[in-house]
Chain A
Amino acid sequence: MTEILKGVDKVTFEVLRHRLWQITDEMAIMLKRVSGSPSTAQVHDFMVALYTKDGEILSGGFGVPWHITSASAACKHVAKKFASSIHEGDTFLLNDPYLAAIHQSDVYLVTPIHHMGKLVAWCANFVHVTDIGAIDPGGFSPRATSVFHEGMRFKGVKIVEAGELRTDLFDSIIGMSREPGMVALDLRSQIASNNVAKTRVADLIEKHGWKTIRAVMKGLIDFTEKGFRARLSELPDATWRTVQHIDILGKGYRIPLAMTKKGTDLLFDFEGASPQSPRGLNCTYWGALGGVMGAVFSLLCFGFPWNEGALRPVTVVAPEGSIINCRYPSPVSISTVAGTISAANGAITTISKMLGSSDKYSHEMLAVGNGCSCVIRQAGINQEGAYYVSGLWDWLSGSSGARSYADGVDTSGGQAGIMTMMQATNIESTESTYPLLYMFRGQSADSGGPGKFRGGVSGECCFTVYDAPEKRIDLIISGWGVEAAASTGLSGGYPGSSARFAMYKASEVEPLFKKAKITTDLVGVKAKVEELPPQWAGELSEGKYMYLRWAGGGGYGDPLERDVELVRADVEEELISKDAATGIYGVVFRDGIPSVDKRATLAKRKILRSRRHGEKIL
């Protein structure tokens, strides 16, 4: 094992390992401080990382993990394209999804780090900028049918040259956005973040010498690769399969995944994926790779630095022209939360199946949670009379999939149940900033996929316009998972609930709100309900109430094996309904407070089991 640390003092290695994480931590802090936008500072829709001079991942920091690999591609592209014209003090901007970025809204800023005039490393970050000048405000464009509808696209430009901001370019870029002021802040925070990394890495080289740092960089990557491979070698060689379904516009897209582990290598093969969509759900290869690697980092690389070493044993194959690897110029603006999440979901499932074939690692299994996106963007005139574009992040309250030893975490933040750093905003901050009023926001009973261990529950919310000068705003929805169930379970566990988008029109009855009583749930509300497709752009106006429920977490194991006491507690805590307790879990209650009728439960479970025999009932 010692050969991976050739020429490096082990103590220095440990000191520097810690220090590199600290540097990415500082990059994240700088993004949040300078930007101050809800999306960056509160929701944490960003990523920071360090790369070697060849663009290999050196230290993937805090943030959305699918971008760690894409920003690596960005560094590699810039390194190649600009080659001899890369100078100290330059910073490059790139957001072309066909080159590296996953969709245009996630703008990459890539900065070379020099030592004694020689390129030695890169740092990079992205934030989801407020508006990218696409056909729909906010960057996720359900109406786009080509990448040309999806806003400005850069293949790499010097936004900072020799330490000087190129104001001509900067002004042109922000001028293409509906929100120039906010985008200017976004970009400034990104420049500041990379500047911090640049200074810190330079200080580190100054102190320890380039030779040591170079050896440590190599050592860290080798360490992760070695550790990851050692873990893989403890698991059986096999192929594990799963399938994800993206269902929109009356069409279903299949994304099957076969993951093969052989020796210490992992192959993720999306063979059989549906042809690309005319809408922006597609992802480019970078999205598929990022989605897979997000799962690899989170589920297989705990305890190791997240770097290129995790990538070396992994191959990702995605058929060209498919929804998981689309051809230029297909639209991709929704890719981060469609193609990419589905790739992550698939990888989470196949990896967990692999972990489940080992006594040593089965406690590391995770079913998919919050498996499909429920992105909502809003735009209009706010209560101050100003035009704005922004998001709504309630769905990032999330839900996590079940584990082999415990339930999934309820409303646990983030996408796909692994991105624990993403989070929702307060209703009070939403209502004070945007012309909206919430009827309710709560956890959604029965949303967690049933199982021996249940998936974490998701949540639901409902809101209307309020104090809006125009009595309306635009809403843009880019979700999926309404017809299918994206949060698949494990070991027989059922999937978490589907998502739901609906518009309640109260015009036919008294406006819900004006009657001294405001509705706090939608039970018994006599309004016309329109189920919305998950890709939708329209308006929210007075008398209309937008309802959203995001997807629950997948379950683990046979629901009839669930501890009766846990079922009772779930009913008491309003996490499952009595109907589900009896119908799915076979637990029967006496009247009144949930007290379990043990004998009836045994009998009920026996009946439910006896109905399990082969037969197609559809």
Chain B
Amino acid sequence: MRLSEYVEGIGTGKKLRIRCRSCRKFLSDSRRHWKEKVPHKEYPLKRAGSLMSASTKYVLREFYCPSCRILLDSEVVEPGEPFLLDELKS
């Protein structure tokens, strides 16, 4: 099932596995959230464009597919702030 543009779930409950919709690479299983398994990086907001604030109070956090390197998700957060984790209820 589709979870977002680039992430989908296969199976349900404990058997749920998350994979990349772009390359079908499995990202995680039900024990850990996929965001905690894939590479992520925090950038200054300016990465999103020259008209972005130069403030260092906030960052643009990006999550990538470890295989095809597509941008799975991004967040505007304070540096080091916990990930914004969307969770399916089984």
Contacts and interface: CB of A to CB of B under 8 A. Distances in A.
Question: A and B: direct contact (Cβ < 8 Å)?
Answer: yes
Interface of A: 236-243, 245, 247, 252, 254, 260, 262, 353, 356-359, 362, 404, 444, 446-447, 449-450, 452, 482-485, 488-495, 497-498, 500, 549, 552, 556-561, 577, 579-580, 584, 609-610, 612-618
A206 B3 CA distance: 52
Interface in B21-52: 38-45, 47-52
Contact of B4 (A254, A491, A549, A614): A491
B85 A404 contact: no
Interface in B50-86: 50-53, 55-60, 62-64, 69-79, 81, 84-86
B51 A618 contact: no
Given A242-B84, A558-B70, A613 B64 contact: yes
A357 B2 CA distance: 5
Given A239-B87, A357-B3, A492-B6, A549 B51 contact: yes
B60 A491 contact: no
Given A357-B2, A358-B2, A577-B50, A241 B85 contact: yes
B29 to A, nearest CB: 17
Nearest to B64: A612
A105 B74 CA distance: 37
A449 B52 CA distance: 10
A239 B86 contact: yes
A559 B52 CA distance: 16
Given A485-B48, A558-B6, A618-B43, 8 more contacts: A491-B73, A561-B70, A580-B50, A584-B49, A609-B69, A612-B41, A617-B43, A618-B79
Contacts of A243: 75-77, 81, 84
A273 to B, nearest CB: 14
A444 B87 contact: no
Nearest to B3: A357
Nearest to A449: B48
Contacts of A238: 86-89
B51 A491 contact: no
B74 A485 contact: no
A617 B41 contact: yes
Given A245-B76, A404-B5, A560-B71, A494 B44 contact: no
Of listed A358, A549, A560, A613, residue having the most chain B CB within 10 A: A613
Given A485-B48, A492-B73, A237 B89 contact: yes
A493 B77 CA distance: 14
Contact of B57 (A359, A484, A560): A484
B62 A492 contact: yes
Contacts, number: 165
Nearest to A482: B53
A556 B49 contact: no
B74 A615 contact: no
16 contacts: A356-B5, A449-B48, A449-B49, A485-B45, A485-B52, A485-B76, A490-B4, A493-B74, A494-B48, A495-B60, A497-B49, A498-B53, A557-B5, A558-B70, A613-B39, A614-B40
B13 to A, nearest CB: 12
A236 B51 contact: no
B86 A483 contact: no
A587 B42 CA distance: 23
Interface of B: 1-6, 38-45, 47-53, 55-60, 62-64, 69-79, 81, 84-89
Contacts of A242: 84
Given A247-B57, A449-B48, A492-B5, A612 B86 contact: no
Contacts of B40: 614
Of listed B44, B51, B78, B87, residue having the most chain A CB within 10 A: B51
A372 B50 CA distance: 18
B51 to A, nearest CB: 4
B8 to A, nearest CB: 9
B49 A446 contact: yes
B42 A610 contact: no
B70 A446 contact: no
Given A237-B88, A492-B6, A559-B71, A446 B51 contact: yes
Contacts of A485: 45, 48, 52-53, 58, 76
A45 to B, nearest CB: 27
A488 B39 contact: no
A34 B32 CA distance: 60
Contact of A491 (B5, B43, B45, B52): B5
Contacts of B41: 612-617
A429 B41 CA distance: 48
Contacts of B43: 617-618
A483 B57 contact: yes
Contacts of A618: 42-44, 56, 59, 79
A609 B55 CA distance: 25
Contacts of A616: 41-42
A614 B84 CA distance: 17
Contacts of B62: 492, 612
Nearest to A499: B53
A610 B69 contact: yes
A618 B44 CA distance: 8
A556 B4 CA distance: 11
Contact of B72 (A404, A488, A492, A610): A492
Contacts of A494: 47-49, 60, 74
Contacts of B57: 247, 252, 483-484
Of listed B5, B47, B87, residue having the most chain A CB within 10 A: B5
A483 B43 CA distance: 14
